[in-house]
Amino acid sequence: MSTTRTRETIAVSLSDAQSNSIEVQEKALQTLLSITKVSPQNRSLLSETREAIFNLMNLSKSSSINIQTLSLSILFNLSLNPNLKQSLTNMETIYHLNSLVLPPSPSDTRKIAASLICSLAMLDKNKAIFGVAGSIQALVTAVAGPRGPEDHHLLSSLAELVQFHGNCTVAVRSGGVPALIQVIESTGGEDLTSTALSILGLLARFDEGLTALRKIDGIVMLMVDLLRGRSMSSKEGAAEILIKLFDESEGFARDALRVSEFSTLLADLSVRGSARARQQAGLLMKKMMAANRDSHGDDNLMLLRW
């Protein structure tokens, strides 16, 4: 389709999207969704059309779930163009997206809203804006709720936002650590567990996050249990958190020493794990030996287990 023809299609579709007929609106939005799905040029053409983004944002507030979902999907497509991420990010838009990631919004709406937040937050200068506008609190609240098909999208958005150190503090103070622990304890999905662990690892880089982790009952046993799993990324995430806990207090290392199979798990990780996991296993063993020496005066017990 030529550029001229595309402009004409966009103009007609945007006009039809303002129709009083839901069917006409849906057809128009489906056309816009189709032409912006794979073409960066078409996304730019749509964004350059007068009041296109403004109208799409208004349509995303429609009482019709289909109209709402289609509008958000088009905005998500636009956000895939790096040069459009900043222009799509303003406080009104963020407040609206924050409301959509929370119940009672339908699962599909929550998925797309969270994905749009994640996409826009990939521009580093946008991360702080989302933090100031309350997106961290909204996502933590959503993650703390009942499990649903939107969970992966919510966690991915939170993971992107906490790449900015200032957002880590907001996440911790919003109850992010217990919410993420809840995800780990309640889900059978290794993908969700791995993402939750990666976020916890980022939060634990700072004193407030590490302090919040220390307050979790049975945190060491929970991480040890994850070392028994099949997901290598989850094992890496659990090992990283154990390293931080052991650095914070030898008491956590002694808790791990009481688990008879812990040294076996570390030995297995040091042989069959990824390069990162093997390195982590070696570091954990050194810390365990140090904790055992301080407790018993020598390394004999630990060495025998190893």
Q: Please say if the pLDDT value at position 22 is more than 90.
A: yes
Instruction: Look at residue 302 in the predicted model and tell me its pLDDT.
Output: 47
Q: Please say if the pLDDT value at position 303 is more than 60.
A: no
Query: Average pLDDT, stretch 218-244?
Result: 95
Instruction: Look at residue 288 in the predicted model and tell me its pLDDT.
Output: 85
Give 105-150 pLDDT, tens digit per residue. Answer: 999 999 999 999 999 999 999 999 999 999 999 999 999 999 999 9
Q: Please say if the pLDDT value at position 187 is more than 70.
A: no
Tell me the C-alpha distance between 290 and 251, whole Å.
Answer: 11
Q: Please say if the pLDDT value at position 299 is more than 50.
A: no
Instruction: Look at residue 90 in the predicted model and tell me its pLDDT.
Output: 94
Q: Please say if the pLDDT value at position 239 is more than 90.
A: yes
Q: Which residues of 45-84 are buried (b: 16+ CB within 10 A; e: fewer)?
A: bbbeeeebbebbbebbebeeeebbbbbbbbbbbbbebeeb
pTM comes to 0.92
Q: Please say if the pLDDT value at position 215 is more than 50.
A: yes
Tell me the C-alpha distance between 146 and 60, whole Å.
Answer: 24
Give 31-58 pLDDT, tens digit per residue. Answer: 999 999 999 999 999 999 999 999 999 9
Tell me the C-alpha distance between 40 and 79, whole Å.
Answer: 10
Give 54-107 pLDDT, tens digit per residue. Answer: 999 999 999 999 999 999 999 999 999 999 999 999 999 999 999 999 999 999
Instruction: Look at residue 304 in the predicted model and tell me its pLDDT.
Output: 41
HEC secondary structure over the chain: CCHHHHHHHHHHHHHHCCCCCHHHHHHHHHHHHHHHCCCHHHHHHHHHCCCHHHHHHHHCCCCCHHHHHHHHHHHHHHHCCHHHHHHHCCHHHHHHHHHHCCCCCCHHHHHHHHHHHHHHHCCHHHHHHHHHCCHHHHHHHHHCCCCCCCHHHHHHHHHHHCCCHHHHHHHHHCCHHHHHHHHHHHCCCHHHHHHHHHHHHHHCCCHHHHHHHHCCCCHHHHHHHHHCCCCHHHHHHHHHHHHHHHHHCHHHHHHHHCCCCHHHHHHHHHHHCCHHHHHHHHHHHHHHHHHHHHHHCCCHHHHHHC
Instruction: Look at residue 260 in the predicted model and tell me its pLDDT.
Output: 85
The percent of residues above 70 in pLDDT, for the chain, comes to 95
The dihedral formed by the CA atoms of 114, 119, 121 and 124, expressed in degrees to the nearest 10: 170
Residue 299 near residue 306, CB atoms below 8 Å: no
**What is the average pLDDT score of the chain?**
93
Instruction: Look at residue 292 in the predicted model and tell me its pLDDT.
Output: 74
Query: Average pLDDT, stretch 195-222?
Result: 96
Tell me the C-alpha distance between 211 and 287, whole Å.
Answer: 20
Q: Please say if the pLDDT value at position 213 is more than 50.
A: yes
Task: Tell the residue number behind the tokens 């990324």, with chain if given.
Answer: 233
Give 166-175 pLDDT, tens digit per residue. Answer: 999 999 999 9
pLDDT band at 295 (very low <50, low <70, confident <90, very high): low
Tell me the C-alpha distance between 80 and 131, whole Å.
Answer: 21
pLDDT band at 294 (very low <50, low <70, confident <90, very high): low
Give 263-286 pLDDT, tens digit per residue. Answer: 999 999 999 999 999 999 999 999
